Structure 1
Amino acid sequence: MFKQITFKFKNDVTRIEFWVVTGCIIAALILSIFDIIRNNQIAANNMIQAGQQAVTPALLSATLMPILFSYLVTFIIYLLLCFYLTPAFEGDGGTALNGSLLIFIFIALSYLVGIISIYFAALLALKILFIYFNRNRQNGESALYYEASLLTASWILITIGLLYVSTPVMLHFYILYDVAAAMVLYLYAVHVLLPNEKLKNKNIIYYFFRMFLLAALSSLAVYLICLSFKGGSGLSRPAAIFVLVIDIGDAENIAWLVFLNFLTQLFIVMPLARTTYKRRNAKKDEEIKTLKTELGQSDANLNFLKSQINPHFLFNALNTLYGTALQENAERTGEGIQKLGDMMRFMLEENVRDRILLSRDIDYLKNYILLQKLRTSASSSIIIETQIEDYQGALMITPMLLIPFVENAFKHGISLQNPSHIKVTLQTDGNTLYFDVHNSIHIRHDNDPEKGQSGIGLDNVKQRLALLYPNRHDLVIRENAKEFFIHLTVQLDII
């Protein structure tokens, strides 16, 4: 379960924090050892003066071992928080978070039995809160682990705070035991019991029966724990360092704790868990409804945009072919017709798909450029450069995503009367596509029927990029009086 622990620092701040905390633990350990040795030496001198036998090395070792064990456990917990819990909470969750519950249980038990000092317990609780607030908030499936971390840290800090406040003794133990039991039952009810199939039909009787039994079991557990600490098992420890330093008291106090625990589970935890679960489900249903609505609108927009694309490019291709036919009536015309046939076949068969192989879209792009070259080949003042990678991999792309940029370049960048240039570059690196188009700009004559018409090409592709590649693309468009430049980077999917 803890196989994914990797001892790597994600940044310099984490590295500095690790060494500062490690130094504090080592310094505290050394000071504790010196303090124990000094106290034992004073006790030995007093016993010698009183004519009694001095403290033996065995007794000194027995005193040091619990302290060494305490700091060792503290350091192990800190390592788990740094190198296991932090990456799990900041990542995508999954099985990596399964071990976090065991970590919280281990921390709570170590704190309860007094293995961890209250100073380091407070620091560990603050570390858990820091991890919680820096979690991956997009990972909704890990809500159980996130809530467990928040509740565990809050419980530790509250119980420590009560040690420094003048409050009734029973309140201390109510928070220490009953609230801890309530936290466990709340998490179980919200994340395990209520999502159960039997409760999907809102079977309140089944829920109440299960919660009643669990409340009884948790009360029994609290009773057994209180019995184990009856008489104040922590009295032998320094009152300023460890938690369990107050005598739980007689059987009457224990009975009150058990009774209050049972009432807390039934009248606070049970309704609170059900209300929380219903509220979250209502929020999820609303989010699903909103997503479905947005998805429907996106599909409608995409279908509409695709219906605009096909005739747009068909007319451009036909105009190109018509211009070629006027120039000569031979091989160039036949080649133009062949390229146009390939383009029409692409639009009829593959343009209707959501995604196609990048190699097929590149083929269409090349056919379009070759068709345009036929129209402009007679003019030596027109320079068309292409550096298009001959890609044959498994990347997928939305069809007709790149052609609007090239079409726009030929539409506004070519003039049969003035020097013109177009450069198209396409390459891939992993799953990233890099696409550049650089062209000259010519002012259209007043009698040009397309003057003042920007067309739908660029607006179309911007909408499609926003809908289909959100947060996965970067489009840069620059323009001056003579040149137009676009740079597109897209993170594509692999088949």
Structure 2
Amino acid sequence: MLYISFLLINFCFMPQLVKKNNIALNIILTVLITAFSIVGLMVANTYAQAYRLVETDDIGRAYDRLFGEAFTYIFLLYLLFNAYAYFSEKGMALLQKIQFLKNYNKNIYQELFTSTKIWLLTLMIFAVIFSPTLDYVLVIIWLIAPPVNLLFAFLSIYYTIPNLRKIGKGFGRYFWGNVALTAMICLLLLLALAGFMRNGEAIPIALIFTSIGMICVTTPLAWYLYKNKFEKLTEIQMLKTELGKSDASLNFLKSQINPHFLFNALNTLFGTALQENAERTGEGIQKLGDMMRFMLHENTLDKISLTREVEYLNNYIDLQKLRTSRSADIKIDTHIEEQLNNLQITPMLLIPFIENAFKHGISLQQPSYIKISLQTKERTLYFDVSNSIYIKADNDPEKLKSGIGLENVKQRLSLLYFGKHELIIRESAKEFFVHLTLQLD
């Protein structure tokens, strides 16, 4: 009878009431099934506990006591059935309205919802198993100890432990802090529930069990759960966030480098074409085509062969030599080893240094030079770029502009080659020097 009533209330009546469908009908059905259960248990109680009828001289008073116990038991039990059914339907929405919970991990709603449902369900099972003769002290213990310990666990996991971890405190500080907090909570509960005592021992005993559970069970269990689940989840989430930022930064840096270089290359070809030498212009266009192909097909990859990266550098240097070949005062000295190994490198990682050298180190009116060296030994790349420095004219449009390439490459090196590179940049009044040592895959 109790089980069927629970199923009807939980799966039929309450869902319809929450949805506001046939409200009057479902209320009437809930009242009827409760009344039927009260009458049924009243009758069953007189048979199950008939021995109590002969313990009193007044048989009528004995029946009244049995009927009263049955009525009170069914009424409270079915009230619990309805509370469980309502919480199952609306509990999540109710929890999401609690403002301060929004400051914590969104999983706290589901965890609170599940924990409360388990406590209500165990409370119902506890009440059904022990029938109407349920001991008052056990009821008080079960009403107080589980919910207080659950709330204490959530407080520890989502507030106390994270804050202690931030300031570098360990389990000792956490444990003794919880002991003090347990004493304060139990004292407040004692003061708040003192007026509801039916006898002098129920609530004190319940608070003793509650405090033992908070100190001996909940405190170490909360620490274990945080360390083995929540702390790892937090760390994973932080890593995902940082990885997302890194990916976004890399994509942004690549998008900055490509158009910047294309602008410079087109300016170079334009200047070459003006020199009225079709052969040299054709050579420049061919090299630019090779570089465009590189950017379209390989610049989007995470890693490419070092051989392809070196080919790209050589094409860029050859293009710049076309622009400066008419000036005898410009010296471009390159020592770039041919790469026959299988080393991998992030694309477009070295070009900003060379681009910066040509941008700031070459003057068509003054003597200037650029020296570039690239070699590998085993899996280590050694890359050096040095260039002269001259004062730009006041009408030079790039005088007040600072290149984005070097800052971009510094960020990319810190993201992709953390602990695997050494970058040295020195600048004097006459020379700019870059040395990069890189551990490759």
TM-score relative to the length of structure 1:
0.45
> Which structure would you say has the larger Rg?
2
